[in-house]
Structure 1
């Protein structure tokens, strides 16, 4: 099997001689944040997180995308938090793109390295530390959990994508597949974070137009991605943020696999009223 790679930003600051190319785009239907925007001066910090900075690449915005936030966390050796999540209504997904982290809850510690995934249900007390001697970088997707009477709350999940067989889309000869960490028929879950893979020359063959909000972070490869009325060339470290019903399609350009980390909200009625 071809070795999977995971792009992670390292920050830095461009020199004055650099051209203003590969610019970010923000429209009413989508936002595009190229990897070149992940610089030192746009990082943020969080209470009770030590030796840690982050890039906030999505946050709820009225009239745009309202269901989730997404961070790229950067934790130095010895860093982390004993009070990681302060919002008891927030569930979270962690996905490691560089280095190694240790996540602890209910008296157990789980070590996650590249490709590692953790689902942390709302109300769970968890801690995180980087016990290694290298910087760790990971995505943290957060969403307020929508509890349903008669459905139990989801359980924590610890996994690694390298241990999961991707689900192949019909009639694609294996060229389009999705790695799922949660059973799509499990109605306890109201969000999915998956990995989508398209091999060179494969496409999303129609303009997907649906109710889910999306966050798409390119892990590796390149493609031409249709966002609303625009074709955008995307590559490693680029992030696409789509509001509900934004039309989208994709053509994978090669020479290797095109893979992205995908967030979407699922399995709940549309909210009515204000």
Structure 2
């Protein structure tokens, strides 16, 4: 189908392999106290991980809670071989998650109901959700973003849901005439959610026209196109398949200079007071 081929091309599924022995080692990987860039070329076969209770699966671990790195979330890009998947995927009963499919057609079982997923499918998994994932044929790849849910007394956690990017209308940022738009999968003012995973899209020439500096931690995986991104005091060129991590308050800006749209999957922590003591400790 014509629409299917376009959808499959918009999420950068290729990854893996290994550079030739004749290749130069110099690349674009950067790791600083304020940000990190993991380029697409770094995601080779030799840096994959295997996970307990996942069969026929390998994972590129893009971020994890770590001193001096991401503090609030973990993100992986998982690849399922034919027949791969897991009946018991999530080891932490207090973890929430988002799945975003970039290739293939895995089947999700959520609360006893089976959902056929495809590129662009988006799944929010509430803490404690009963779910499993199986890949009947071909290769499937998807992002899995996990966060320890921050409960608030008197506030019920949100429900799990399944949707697709095509069902959500991008919302243009004020004053940009659509040059910069965000596809939101949950309402911004729904404070039950303590994380947002959105898709941000820039038309060619679109920009973040100032250095954003604010409390949200960010994880950005480039789905399509290329741009130059301002990270702290540096301009870094990024392209489809690259991952960026930005710590809270890291200045950021963007200029989409490519011939086509520049799009990325964006994680950020939201809607909670700043913790005044290490989490898990009493008063």
Q: TM-score range by the shorter chain?
A: over 0.9
User: Could you tell me how far apart the structure 2 residues matched to 1:228 and 1:239 are?
Assistant: 16
1:83-111 Cα offsets, whole Å, 9 max, x none, are 01010010010000111111112210111
Conserved? CA contact 1:213–1:264, under 8 Å: yes
User: Could you tell me how far apart the structure 1 residues matched to 2:31 and 2:139 are?
Assistant: 31
Give the equivalent residue in structure 2 for 1:78.
83
1:141 alignment partner, SS class: strand
Matched, 1:47 2:52: yes
TM-score normalised by the chain length of structure 1: 0.97
Conserved? CA contact 2:124–2:161, under 8 Å: yes
Give the equivalent residue in structure 2 for 1:184.
188
Q: 1:105 aligns with which of 106, 110, 117?
A: 110
Matched, 1:244 2:248: yes
Q: How many residues align?
A: 273
For structure 2, the 5+ residue unaligned runs are 279-283
Matched, 1:212 2:212: no
Q: CA deviation at 1:171?
A: 1.0
User: Could you tell me how far apart the structure 2 residues matched to 1:173 and 1:3 are?
Assistant: 24
User: Could you tell me how far apart the structure 2 residues matched to 1:67 and 1:25 are?
Assistant: 20
The 5 Å alignment of 1:82-101 reads: 82-101=87-106
Conserved? CA contact 2:120–2:164, under 8 Å: yes
Q: 1:116 aligns with which of 114, 118, 121?
A: 121
The 5 Å alignment of 1:185-200 reads: 185-200=189-204
1:165-186 Cα offsets, whole Å, 9 max, x none, are 1011111111110000111111
User: Could you tell me how far apart the structure 2 residues matched to 1:139 and 1:9 are?
Assistant: 13
Q: 2:29 aligns with which of 16, 19, 24?
A: 24
TM-score normalised by the chain length of structure 2: 0.94
1:106-141 Cα offsets, whole Å, 9 max, x none, are 21011110000000011112100012x210000000
User: Could you tell me how far apart the structure 1 residues matched to 2:204 and 2:231 are?
Assistant: 19
1:149-179 Cα offsets, whole Å, 9 max, x none, are 1111110110100111101111111111000
1:51-70 Cα offsets, whole Å, 9 max, x none, are 00000000001243210000
Q: 1:62 aligns with which of 40, 58, 67?
A: 67
Conserved? CA contact 1:65–1:244, under 8 Å: no
User: Could you tell me how far apart the structure 2 residues matched to 1:64 and 1:99 are?
Assistant: 31
Give the equivalent residue in structure 1 for 2:281.
none
Q: CA deviation at 1:10?
A: 2.5
